[in-house]
Chain A
Amino acid sequence: MPVETVFETTIKRVSILDEHGRFDEELGADLIPDADLIKLYSHLVTCRHFDEIAFKLQRSGRMGTYPENRGQEATSLGAAYALRKTDWLVPCYRENAGLFWHGLPMEYVLLHWMGDERGNEIPDGVNVTPLAIPIGTQMLHAAGLAWSHKYRGDDTIACTFFGDGATSEGDFHEAMNFSANLELPVLFFCQNNSWAISVPTRIQCSAPTIAQRGVGYGMECIQVDGNDLFAVVKVVRDAAERARTTNKPTFIEAITYRLGDHTTADDARRYRDQEEVEMWELRDPLIRLRNHLDAKGLWDETRQAALLEQAEAHVVDVVKNAEEIEPLPATDMFAHMYKDMPAGLEEQARAMRTCSLGRLPGETIDQAAT
């Protein structure tokens, strides 16, 4: 036979709690205990409130540019819930819900967007890397982190998050290739939220799914409804198990939507239709989960009111912690450049000037400045 098929594949999509409230008992029955479900829903509500307050802080001039997370919170939270606390989360910058669940204090994210590196000073024992501003470079760090654990012989894994736009970046492909070929226990979690600022997914990827990009690397690939917390937990749990037991990476494409603008510096009305946004508002993961809890008799308006009150009080404290942190001395910018500060840098730090005139022969810049 001169022409034959040498390879064929299919891409599967997982959905457990769909947008109409239908729940797949077979896949979803024992996935998340009710007590955890309530915790997860409460966390989502708190994170949504945090998001609204962060937006207002920017609008009122109390914080710099901020990327709203609204609409895609279930993706990172589902992943963080399905992973162990010792696993690494290697995020982009729209994964607040997952990072907070994994142990990152909420004020850290505010500090980051307030222009303060203390927001990246991840506490010991919290295995997350700081928010990554350049697009699509952090997946390689996840590959290396996962590798470091494989090297040591423990079964800790790394899960890295990025958007559909990031899958156009070269480092994404290098990270996928490294992880598949060197057998590194990494989960590549693509949050396909339809938009990379103003550029739609079709300009990033001509294939019918982004998930199938993993096929080219010989990697397990799966698509999941990213606004379905149950489905995200299911696919991440399966992928994590595979990574832990075989060191094989998995590529996950979660279909979700960025309900807000790209950041507070963006105006999405310039490039997308309101009808599209309204359609996705109906698929909001919070609404879906709330309806599910209601249907199971686990939730009601009284509990909702109490939760909102609690979330508001908590976020008030978070904002207070971020805003009332002690000011940094200007010399702080020098303090962590190197473990041991080189002499020339130390001189600049002490003098806070770079000019050499005004000093006597033999004096250093800083001696002249004092």
Chain B
Amino acid sequence: MANLTLVQAINLALIQEMERDDRVLILGEDVGLNGGVFRVTEGLHKRFGADRVVDSPLAESGIIGASIGLAMGGLRPIPEIQFEGFLGPAYDQLCTHAARMRTRTRGALTVPLTVRVPVGGGIHAPELHSDSPEAIYTHIPGIKVVMPSSPYDAKGLLVSAIRDPDPVIFFEPKRIYRAFREEVPEDEYTIPIGEARIVREGDELTMVSWGASVIQCMNAIESSGRDIELIDLRSISPIDMARIATSVQKTGRAVVVHEAPMTCGVGAEIATRIMEECFLHLEAPVQRVTGFDCTMPYYKLELDYLPDAARIEQAVADVFAY
């Protein structure tokens, strides 16, 4: 057991999976000698060699397209896209091919790849380094989308993603890459994709979030003095609706928190499903605390854009006042 940051937990998961399975290889921009711009792949090039930790040409569509071929060829590629803002060029390969290959070939060809992507704001980065595009990929059938909020979950979820027989986008909330440490077992464990985690139990209100926002939610809950149940979704697609519904049927109130813009965000889907599953239990309309329907602003205003504890606390107060 070691006390690790989220970056270290991901690094450990990569090392252990590469040692366990020689079909696993890493490719992307700067992932090799440099160990990745966030140092997530630090030391792997030296440990596993240039054939398994590959510095690729600077071409996101190429990285994902080639990974699809590697996966169809029986390997387990882990491509890295350096920032979520550069996922756009790879959208075509992800959605046109990776997501559809299994169903269009009825399982004859499959694409077991894990796309690692740093995601989200809060690190004063240049433009297109702070977005939250998880809803875009959640809308595409055939791709799984996960986002851990803690080092422990990051390791277990990444192992599941790498071993998953289908394409997984593994979003890494860069704001909390090194924000805190947690005990992370050296021993093998997995966290099933599709299972949310109850971070904190409570009877008065259900709060649903994922990624770096979970930390903001914790802060808001502590200062609210309310008995709030916090659910970390962990898997955004598929979504663990049963856990959310059970909780809201108990609490009667729900607030969803995410960094991405509000309209057609994952929060909209969760609110709809709560309305369908928990209609007669609700004491107040489901509230969403999200990024605004604006382009993610340059970093001078990013903290005004991102949901913080104060905005979340206000929403909680509004729900109780309803």
- 1-46 of chain B: CB within 8 A of chain A: 25
Bitwise, B280-292 to A at CB < 8 A (1) or not (0) is: 1000000000000
If A117-B103, A145-B69, A174-B57 are given as contacts, then 14 extra A-B residue pairs at C-beta distance below 8 Å, sorted by A number, are A117-B105, A134-B96, A137-B96, A137-B97, A140-B68, A141-B97, A143-B65, A143-B66, A149-B73, A178-B66, A336-B105, A337-B102, A338-B142, A340-B165
Q: Contact at B165–A148, with CB atoms within 8 Å?
A: no
Distance A120 CA – B105 CA, assembled complex (angstroms): 5
| A337–B107 CA distance with the chains assembled, in angstroms | 9
Q: What are 19 of the A-B contact pairs (CB < 8 Å)?
A: A117-B105, A122-B108, A122-B109, A134-B96, A140-B68, A143-B66, A144-B65, A144-B66, A144-B77, A148-B72, A174-B57, A175-B66, A335-B106, A336-B106, A337-B102, A338-B166, A339-B165, A343-B242, A345-B238
CB contact list, A127-152 vs B, under 8 A: 129-130, 134, 137, 139-149, 151
Min CB–CB distance A156 → chain B (angstroms): 9
Q: How far is the CA of A151 from the CA of B107 in the complex (A)?
A: 24
Number of interface residues of B (CB under 8 A): 48
Q: Is the CB of A175 within 8 A of B241?
A: no
State whether B72 touches A145 (Cβ < 8 A): yes
A367 at the interface (CB under 8 A from B): no
CB < 8 Å: which of B61, B103, B144, B239 contacts A170? B61
How far apart are the CA atoms of A342 and B239 in the complex, in Å? Answer: 9
B92 lies within 8 A of chain A by Cβ: yes
A144 lies within 8 A of B105 (CB): no
* Residues from chain A with Cβ under 8 Å of B56 in the complex: 178, 182
Q: Which of B66, B77, B110, B144 has the most CB of A within 10 A?
A: B66
How long is the Cα–Cα vector from A14 to B106 in the complex, in angstroms?
41
Known: A143-B69, A342-B238. A151 touches B110 (CB 8 A): no
Choice from A146, A171, A181, A182 contacting B61 with Cβ under 8 Å: A171
Closest Cβ of chain A to B181, distance in Å, is 33
Closest to A176 in B: B62
Q: Determine the chain B residues whose CB is within 8 A of the CB of A134 once the complex forms.
A: 92, 96
Contact A137 B62 (CB under 8 A): no
Q: Given the complex, which residues of B lie within 8 Å of A333, measured CB to CB?
A: 103
Verify if B159 is at the interface (C-beta below 8 Å from A): no
A contact residues, range: 35 or more
Chain A residues with Cβ below 8 Å from B239 are 344
> Are the C-beta atoms of B103 and A336 separated by less than 8 Å?
yes
Could you give, for residues 161-183 of chain B, a 1 whenever the CB lies within 8 Å of some chain A CB and a 0 otherwise? 00001100000000000000000
CA distance A199 to B155 in the complex (A): 51
* Chain A proximity mask over B44-71: 1 for CB below 8 Å, otherwise 0: 0000000100101101011011111111
Check if A356 is an interface residue, CB within 8 A of chain B.
yes
What is the distance, in angstroms, from A366's C-beta to the closest C-beta of chain B?
14
Closest to A131 in B: B104
Residues of B near any A CB (own CB < 8 A):
25, 51, 54, 56-57, 59, 61-62, 64-75, 77, 89, 92-93, 96-97, 102-110, 141-142, 144, 165-166, 194, 238-239, 241-242, 276-277, 280
**Central interface residue in B54, B97, B108, B110, by most chain A CB within 10 Å:** B108
A122 near B105: Cβ-Cβ < 8 Å? yes
- A305–B165 Cα distance when bound, in Å, is 51
In the complex, A336 Cα to B108 Cα: how many Å?
10
Alpha-carbon gap, A145 to B66, bound state (A): 8
User: Chain B residues with Cβ under 8 A from A143's Cβ?
Assistant: 62, 65-66, 69
Which chain A residues lie closer than 8 Å to B238 at the CB level? Answer: 342-345
In the complex, which residues of chain B have a beta carbon less than 8 angstroms from the beta carbon of A175? 62, 65-66
Contacts of A339 in B (CB 8 A): 102, 107, 110, 165-166
Nearest Cβ on chain B to A84's Cβ, whole angstroms: 16
Assess whether A297 is interfacial by the CB under 8 Å rule.
no
List 10 A-B pairs, minimum CB-CB distance, nearest first. Answer: A144-B69, A148-B73, A140-B65, A174-B62, A342-B238, A141-B69, A339-B165, A356-B276, A144-B66, A144-B70
